[in-house]
Chains A and B, each alone.
Chain A
Amino acid sequence: MPAVRVRFEDLAAGDEVPPLSRMVTREDVKRYADASGDHNPLHQNDDVARAVGFPRRSWSRRAVAIGRPRNRRFNAIRSPR
């Protein structure tokens, strides 16, 4: 599903942002962690993730912050598990 362009100026309270569907790869996880400055090894290294009880490196929830603006305030949506 392609991303929909939404301009900040056009948002109003109660608007709904259309869903965005995307396959996330391991490379995406690392690229996002590097670009955001999130150096938690949970996002970088499968061995670390397994050592603390995850099946594999975890995907930062931040990257999928889509939601419903309410006074130009978004609630981040939980990433799929």
Chain B
Amino acid sequence: VKPAKVIAGVILVVISVALVAVGRYHFGPKGRLTFDPRTSSRSQGNPHAPIWVVEYLDYQCKSCALSVPIIHEFMSKHPGKVYLQLRFHPLPRAHRHAIRAAIYGECAAKQKKFWPMHNLLFEKQDEWGPSESPDAFFNRYAVQAGLDDQRLSACVDDPATKTAVMAERDEGQAIGVKSTPTFFVNGKMSVGVIGLKELLEAQSGQKGKEPT
């Protein structure tokens, strides 16, 4: 190995590392996950729990629907130890009704009926997902969830609701959320449902043990 080549190689590696550092500074994730009081109506569990789970979701994403029973089972196994907070991260390029579904979710949250609406949106994903205009389905779920019709219409038609949803998505993007579902379990990021169980068990310290 010629010393000149090694020196050139080392210089190129150093330049590459520097470029990545500069790139990350300009284009990389900005800021950290922080507590968001706006999502309190989309939260479940004990806020003082040792395990904090924040999920960025898209209602038209299949994996997000698969994560619902995983989280539910984990919370049932560890009562009082988990705090779950849901944040919207619609991906309209992949899912054309994702923003609209998130708007309905947000409006349900404003009426303190978020969880029944949330569950219905995921349960009936195959029903409203392929439709051309999903509002009729959403309105039917809203009735089932017990939402006030007039307040719902006003909220859904209010441009501020969409702005709030999109702002939440932008905040997710800023901290590095690119796809859904993305979880932060005590601040540790996990993308998709495959690594979720592993991460939850690791955080609970219950790995390899029977749930108590």
Do A and B bind? no
Residues of A near any B CB (own CB < 8 A) = none
